Amino acid sequence: MPTTDVYREAEKRWRHSLQEPGEELIDFELADDRVRRVDMAADAPDWLRGAQLYALCGVDGFRFLRCPFSPEEELRWSHAALAAWTEPEASESNLDLTHAGERGALWAQHEAAPSSSALRHLSWVTLGYHYQWSERRYDEARRSPFPPALGALGADLGRAVGQPLRPEAAIVNYYAPRSSMGGHCDDAEPCQDAPIVSLSFGLSATFLLGGPSRHAAPLAMRVRSGDVVVQGGASRGCYHGVARVLRGTAPARLREAASAGGGGGGGDDLR
């Protein structure tokens, strides 16, 4: 039986390499024989029918939706993640242990005094059923109302790719430039039939998708602001993570929308 952590070795290479091995990277904006375009589901919501949906050859249930959002919508979702969803009555957060007294109006505090803001220490919030990190499980007794708009968005995205779901829990991760998330498998959810839906806003990143064990070499792909990754079918049980967030990659359209009063924020610093 193999003992080498192949996923970890690839993760370190992608994380620390100053020059990415471009021929290995899957970029859904470029032609690649590992990728195929697929149709939306017949009952996809109208607003998603014009979006570009892709599958990875040989990876069951994986779907990649190139940004279906307008710049104004991207800003609104970014702002929700930084403002409404960070409020203590809406979520649990890593800040509960270190900055509990500063959690209220976190985004307003950041706008007033960015250099001393607790937002700089924000790593994650949980919505709906709150994931218990040390125990690696969800506790039925620890639950906040799930944001209705986010629930509707998740349901729309699931319908569009033919993998229906009713979102009840979410983890929102906040990344600084050059930060990462180690490879992991989402196996704590009681329902393993529902897909994992991941949305990205802000900076671009290198996303890794491995196999059902750490002995499988992961595929690396570029994820940009507004892109959606869906892991259903066999890909639901695959190891995955963020090898690196890329500095200076916030799209100009977000700055332009913000300057025009599109609402929200996030700038170059957070993803």
CATH number of the domain bearing residue 139: 2.60.120
Q: Can you say which residues are annotated as belonging to the binding site? A: 184, 186, 240
3-state SS class at 115: helix
Listed residue (133, 186, 187, 195) closest to 163, CA to CA: 195
Q: Can you say which residues are annotated as belonging to the binding site for Fe cation? A: 184, 186, 240
Alpha helices in the chain (DSSP H): 6-16, 71-82, 95-98, 106-112, 148-160, 252-259
Q: Which domain holds residue 187?
A: 6-259
3-state SS class at 181: strand
* 186 in a structural domain: yes
Write out the two tokens for 113: 């005094």
What are φ and ψ of residue 148, in 5° steps? -60, -40
* 264 in a structural domain: no
Instruction: State the number of CA atoms in the 13 A half-sphere of 271 facing the CB.
Output: 29
Other beta carbons within 10 angstroms of residue 88's beta carbon come to: 16
As a whole number of angstroms, the distance between CA 253 and CA 233 comes to: 34
* 268 in a structural domain: no
Listed residue (187, 196, 188, 178) closest to 249, CA to CA: 178
Question: What is the pTM (predicted TM-score) of this model?
Answer: 0.91
232 and 238 Cβ atoms separated by less than 8 Å: no
pLDDT per residue as tens, the chain (271 positions): 567 899 999 999 999 876 665 679 999 999 899 999 999 999 999 999 999 999 999 999 999 999 999 999 999 999 999 999 999 999 999 999 888 777 778 888 888 888 888 888 999 999 999 999 888 999 889 999 999 999 999 999 999 999 999 999 999 999 999 899 999 998 888 778 899 999 999 999 999 999 999 999 999 999 999 999 999 999 999 999 999 999 999 999 998 998 887 655 444 343 3
Q: How many domains does the chain have?
A: 1
Write out the two tokens for 78: 């970014």
